[in-house]
Every structure is written in structure tokens, then in C-alpha cells.
Amino acid sequence: MVLYICRWILVSLVVASQSSVTPAVASQGATFTVENKCQYTVWPGISGNGISTTGFELQKGESRTITAPPSWSGQLWGRTRCAVNSSTGNFNCVTGDCGSGMVSCFGFKPAPPTTFLELRLEESNENGALDYFYVNVADGYNLPLLVVPQGDTGANCSMAGCVMDLNGFCPTELRLSDGRGEVVACKGPCLTLQQEKYCCTERSTCRPTLYSRVFKDACPHAHIYPYDHASVIIPRQTSQLLGQVMKESLASKMAHY
């Protein structure tokens, strides 16, 4: 699914729906194929009802296919550095943890900071079935994720995601580090600094900040801050979304700020 600071995680998502000129016909659902091309184990998590699994382990080179029903909405994300606590017996992850205490998330969503894919499959509307998705890093980032729709005729059908390693240039005040001092995630400025200018509670006063400008420059196709609606993608008819994860340094970009 959506995972790691490594080489690649390949995510194939096929959203199948009928032609947009047939209003009465609903979406036929979606199929997710998650392949771990990292050099270590990762743990995808899924929130949303009607899914056969809400969390699983993928060792290097493994893949898994999940089918979502019509009119489904949910999130997909990647968990890192997961293990069973020897004292409590609970399953926990350093980033992306959903708080269930188990590999399956059972409807729980990831704790920030986590990069995640938000997807909604609509039954139908006056224009026929309508689906949308976006990749969100507004509350923080832990892994690169890119979603690329293919074979779609929607006017607003384009890629979404963040393929840069934001952990590599995360400001000191936003860093989440492990016990060895390694940066494992980059926290969102709203949750961390608790200031109105970063939280955008009112649309009329929501303006880009230094943080959002830098992150948007690095990841122009991701949802960076509240009301960043230009990053929401609306594919129509049959679509294939291809997610890729990769590690890249942004040190050169930071020289411009």
C-alpha cells in the first residue's frame, strides 16, 4: 500500500465504475494490490468498513490484493518499525500506529504524523458514479507515496502524492525521532505548534505559511494544509491508480528558503 523510506513500494488500485453518462449505475468498487519492494518488512493499514482485512504484514517482495465494495470510503497508509511489546503483548508501530494493539486496525485510523491515501467511492449522483482520492500530509508525514491514475477520461484525473523524503529536511521543531536520534517522521505544524495560522480553522483566514510553502514546493500533488482542495483528484469511469514510494533528498530545495 503506501509505504516506506526505502526503494519502492508499488500500489496498484483499480477503481471500476460505469460510464458517467448513466446516472443510475453505481460504482463497482475497487481492487488494491499492495507490493512491498522495500528491503525490509512493512505493515499496511486500512480504515473503512466492508474490507476483508484492515492490517497485515508484507515482507520484502510480497504483495497482497484487497477488494473494496461500492460506496466505500477509507484510508490506506504504511506503518513502520512495528513489533509486539514484550510486556503488554500489544502490537505497536513507531509511525502509522492505529492504536488497536494488533496487526489489524479494526476501523481505527493512523496516529499522526502519517502519510495516507484518502479514497471515496460514491454510489452515484446526477452525473453517474463519482470517485475521489488524495494523499494527505497535512497532519504529518512518515513515508513517500504517489498515486497515478491511468486509462481515465475524467477532466481532473491526474497524479497525487508526495514522493520526496520530507524526513530528510524536516525542521527541527517538527521532527519525530526514534531512540537513536534518527528522524522517522515529520510532524504537522498545526498539531505541533498549536497556532491558528497553521491550523486554518476558518477558510477566510487560511493562508499558506512558510512550512506549507516549502512542503508544497516539495510535494505539489499532496494535500498539505486545510482547504488545500486543489490536491483532490476526481477520476471517472475505469481508473487505475499506481502508487510508488521512493527516497529522495530535498537538501537542494531547502537552499532556496
Provide DSSP, 112-140: SS--EEEEEE---BTTB--EEEEEE-TTE
The whole-number pLDDT of residue 87 equals: 95
CA 222 centroid distance within chain = 9
Q: What is the pLDDT of residue 247?
A: 33
Average pLDDT (80-95) is: 96
Q: How confident is the model at residue 3 (pLDDT cuts 50, 70, 90)?
A: very low
Q: For residue 82, is pLDDT > 60? A: yes
8-254 adopts what CATH topology?
Thaumatin (2.60.110)
Least confident of 31-45, 152-166, 216-230: 152-166
Instruction: Provide the Cα torsion 91, 95, 96, 101; round to 10°.
Output: 20
**Looking up cell 513507531, which residue turns up?**
94
Confidence (pTM): 0.79
CB 90, CB 103: distance < 8 Å: no
DSSP alpha helices (H): ranges in the chain? Answer: 189-193, 196-199, 210-218, 251-254
Separation between Cα atoms, residue 69 and residue 17, nearest integer Å: 11
Segment 85-91 shows an average pLDDT of 96
In a 10 Å sphere around its CB, with 0-12 CB exposed, 13-18 middle and 19+ buried, how is residue 201 labelled? exposed
**pLDDT band at 186, cuts 50/70/90?**
very high
* Alpha-carbon gap, residue 34 to 55, rounded angstroms: 12
Residue 184: its H or E element: strand 183-187
Give me the mean pLDDT over the 118-142 stretch. 76
C-alpha cell read off for 15: 477503481
Burial bucket for residue 232 (CB in 10 Å: 0-12, 13-18, 19+):
middle
Q: Which pLDDT belongs to residue 103?
A: 98
At 149 the pLDDT is 63
Q: What is the pLDDT of residue 99?
A: 97
Phi and psi dihedrals of 91, rounded to 5?
-90, 120
Tell me what pLDDT residue 46 has: 94
Are 98 and 47 in contact by the 8 Å Cβ rule? The answer is yes
Exposed/middle/buried for residue 107 (C-beta within 10 Å: 0-12, 13-18, 19+) = middle
Contact 91, 82 (CB under 8 A): yes
> Does the pLDDT of residue 160 top 60, yes or no?
yes
pLDDT band at residue 4 using 50, 70 and 90 as cut-offs: very low
Quick one: which H or E segment has residue 73?
A: strand 73-84
Average model confidence (pLDDT) for the chain? 75
pLDDT band at residue 241 using 50, 70 and 90 as cut-offs: very low
pLDDT reported for residue 231 = 64
Q: Which pLDDT tens digit goes with each residue over 197-207?
A: 888 877 777 88
All 3 cell numbers of residue 122?
460514491
